Chain A
Amino acid sequence: MRMKTSDEALAVAAGNGDRDAFSVLIERHYDRIYRMGWRLCGTQADAEDLAHDIMAALPAKLRSFRGEAKFTTWLYRVVMNAATDRARKAQRRARARDGWGEDYKSRAAEAAEARESYEWLSVAMRTLPEELRQTVALTLGEDLTQKDAAAVMGVSEGTVAWRMSEVKKHLRTLAEKEAI
């Protein structure tokens, strides 16, 4: 019956010490965290590490969730911040943006077509600055509306729309380069 309780109710209960609510909540959302993590970091290993870190920190973090925002909005922001921090750390290790999709070679066993698409994706994601990548991950990857994506990133809807037009520009430039 817990399975039908809303995310927000579960999260607040978990924040107040309800272990069952917490278990249901993380079981429900782990995959989302992983997916979003992959869209931001670009490799399975990074996404899994990120998800692991987030899960480890979630109990304490949840205490600051007070049901005033949608839980998924809050959670996306957690993932985004965690990925940003991770990337910043990695940047000091000289592989921040270049890291997107760096494990594509290990996916060599996949069909050539899928691999090509993935290679294109990794190039495309690397050309995007971080805030555009976040925007893309939320809107195209997670199918959030521009309004919801704006709420996650703490910017206005207009900014999201503007960022999407920037994304188009980047992709167009990329296509032009490929055409040469």
Chain B
Amino acid sequence: MSNQKDDFDDLAKLQAALKDVPAQSEAAKQAALRVAEENFDRLQENGGFARPTEIQAKPAGFLKGLFDMFAPNSMKPLLLTTSSLVVIGLGVVLVQQPAFGPEVAPAIEQRTKSVDSEDASTLSENQVREDSAQIEPLVAETPQPVVEAETDSVMAESFVLADEAVSSRPATSRRALQQAQGGAVTGLTAGSPELTILPAPFPDDIIVEPGPNTDRFANEAPNPLRITAEEPVSTFSTDVDTASYAWVRRSLQNGQMPDPASVRVEEMVNYFTYDYAVPEGDVPFATSVTVSETPWNSDTQLVHIGIQGEMPAVEDRPPLNLVFLIDTSGSMNAPDKLPLLVQSFRLMLSELRPQDEVAIVTYAGSAGLVLEPTKASDSAKINAALANLSAGGSTAGAAGLQQAYQVAEQMAEDGEIGRVILATDGDFNVGQSSDAQMKTLIEAKRDSGTYLSVLGFGRGNINDALMQTLAQNGNGQAAYIDTLSEARKVLVDQLTGALFPIAGDVKVQVEWNPAQVAEYRLIGYETRALKREDFNNDKVDAGDIGAGLQVTALYEVTPVGSAAVLNDALRYGAAADDGTVSDEMGFLRLRYKEPGEDRSNLVEQPITKASAPASQEASFAAAIAGFGQLLRGSDYLGDWSYADAIALANSGKGADAFGYRGEAVTLMRLAESLSQSR
């Protein structure tokens, strides 16, 4: 054992080393001081101390200034809280305000304790718990939810949530908001004087996704094989996102196998367009179903369901109101982030028509309206605003989102489509308490007619899970943009589809016929699964189909009597039919809503056996589905390999006017070499 002198030396050494602080940059200091002063002024203007509304007879606190310097001012939190509630009642949202204040302070005490008293494992347990129970009422029994709730004072909900956390009263945020609007002074407890001494924690700690990786992905275990006799009905929501494919591409091009969790097979399949029949008649989309042999198993069949949305003439588009919400936080300062984003948006501008309007809101240390609503024809002004964007500061996402929605609402006129396009590298986390609360906000805005799309940029801390949550709940698309050509595909070639929904809440349900199909497996769509009963429930949200967009889904089915049946028949299970066996394989049902409608329409179509050889289109889709499953490490492919995928993709490549399919083959080759070099 060492003696005390050594201990002393160690500490002295540590002390000396800790004194050797690296020189700081003067520019950073000046920038920080400037931000502080700006935020100080903004707080003043925004009524941190006085609100210039006729509601409030007397300004609170501000004029008294120094008089209050040493006086106990325990009234202030109360005044702030009540005035906030009044403002909410008016429907005025004052944004730009850094996300905390005295009314949010109470929970810090618990938080500090929790940090001290709990070890890391307990903390992470809490995180997991929260994550798995998004709708669990926020009661102050675990410390973590309290931290979440109290860090955000921009949002009306959270004022009240913080209060709830203190008073241990569970309530959904929406109900709580109604209470607040009703004028109930529910925030009083939050102002308890002994709780406001300690500083509120930082708003950076909002995202509650667990997981050690820098990049976070939303995914589920691959869909298992289902036995038709036991579970004949398969239900899922459509998905037109393509983020996963772009992500996989980027990984492979960087010489790394993609994280299996980042692979969502349906998004890879849907990245490509297929030659489907165009819709005729009243239904805004056409469905086509083909059945062919499965490439990786000659004893099963691949059922290929294609949905093609109609493409209205560009001139018939209603005017668009776009609000770009651009992340300009410090982390966006990389060539593949902000500069690529600016270039991408420039590309997109050329696709807009003169009557469309564009506004730009940025969020970083301070959220701000960089470009007021401007006609798309005024491209000089828009370009100038884009050119002036620069990255710096931390993220104030919720404030930015609030402001973007506010701008969108200002721009909205009858018959126009409003959409917020959020561009971020994933660090979207300040202010909103949790993904779940963010979801509530976005749902509310979606129902009021403003949709949200999300574009992901860069590598390093992309938060795929959050992107998915945001876009799925905002009726929008989530795309990952890694190159200018991807920007072109997403924002130019598919602009109309991405921005103009033609059918909402599109749900797909397939009922398989146990007399024909012994087993089936939906390939991909794990994150889009719906409950069987949700199909007919118009309240349950599902994916949208934009103008001209396509949705492709693949089932691998095992015919009755095939050598590939994996499960033995039940001795007592199969009740003998009366002999009238239908030779349909299954029955396809689709539900969709016309844009703006609440009631869904039903489209039905039988799936019949077809012995036609696989078309080029079906082959290519199968090759991509196989490729995706290889990347995920699926058990169902046997010894089918990347080489087989390459051969199949090449056979189905077709004309490939844009080169997307050729690129996919290149990626398969990369994956093949990378997987062998392991």
Residues on A close to B: CB < 8 A?
A: 9, 12-14, 16-19, 22-23, 26-27, 30-31, 34-35, 38-39, 44, 47-49, 51-61, 63-69, 74, 77-78, 81-82, 84-86, 88-89, 91-95, 107, 114, 117-118, 120-121, 124, 131, 136-137, 140-141, 153-155, 164, 167-168, 171-172, 175-176
Contact = CB atoms under 8 A, between A and B. Distances in A.
B48 interface: yes
A171 B214 CA distance: 30
B118 to A, nearest CB: 11
Interface stretch (B69-77, B217-225, B528-536, B562-570): B69-77
A155 B212 CA distance: 29
A69 to B, nearest CB: 6
B199 A61 contact: yes
B212 A81 contact: no
A56 B365 contact: yes
A33 to B, nearest CB: 9
Contacts of B7: 168, 171-172
Contacts of B73: 16, 66
A53 B108 CA distance: 18
A68 B197 contact: yes
A153 B112 CA distance: 8
A85 B33 contact: no
A9 to B, nearest CB: 6
Contact of A17 (B29, B49, B99): B49
A93 to B, nearest CB: 4
A131 B119 CA distance: 10
Interface stretch (B39-47, B417-425, B596-604, B643-651): B39-47
Contacts of B207: 89, 92
| Main SS class of interface, A | helix
Interface stretch (B19-27, B160-168, B171-179, B548-556): B19-27
B21 A35 contact: yes
Given A12-B69, A34-B24, A94-B213, A155 B116 contact: yes
B65 A78 contact: no
Nearest to A171: B10
Given A78-B199, A107-B22, A63 B76 contact: yes
Given A16-B65, A17-B62, A18-B66, A60 B43 contact: yes
B199 A172 contact: no
Q: Considering the complex of A and B, which 6 residue pairs feature the smallest CB-CB distances, nearest first?
A: A121-B17, A85-B205, A171-B10, A55-B36, A59-B40, A140-B15
A89 B204 contact: yes
Contacts of A34: 21, 24, 29
A68 B39 CA distance: 24
A86 B21 contact: no
B65 A18 contact: yes
B36 A16 contact: no
Contacts of A13: 65-66, 69
Interface string B380-420: 00000000000001100000000000000000000000000
Given A141-B15, A168-B11, 12 more contacts: A16-B61, A16-B73, A17-B48, A51-B29, A53-B365, A60-B97, A60-B100, A88-B205, A93-B214, A93-B461, A153-B112, A171-B10
25 contacts: A9-B70, A16-B62, A17-B48, A27-B33, A30-B29, A38-B22, A44-B25, A53-B202, A55-B35, A55-B36, A56-B36, A57-B39, A58-B40, A59-B42, A59-B43, A59-B98, A77-B198, A85-B204, A89-B207, A92-B213, A121-B17, A124-B14, A141-B19, A154-B116, A172-B6
B129 to A, nearest CB: 16
A56 B17 contact: no
Contact of A118 (B20, B39, B196, B212): B20
Contacts of A124: 14, 17
A167 B11 contact: yes
A56 B393 contact: yes
Contacts of B43: 59-60
B651 to A, nearest CB: 41
A169 B651 CA distance: 66
Given A22-B40, A55-B33, A120-B17, A92 B212 contact: yes
A31 B25 CA distance: 11
Contacts of A51: 28-29, 32
A48 to B, nearest CB: 4
B113 interface: yes
B100 A57 contact: yes
Nearest to B119: A129
Nearest to B396: A56
B212 to A, nearest CB: 5
A91 B123 CA distance: 12
A45 B71 CA distance: 40
Contacts of B37: 19, 22-23, 26
B115 interface: yes
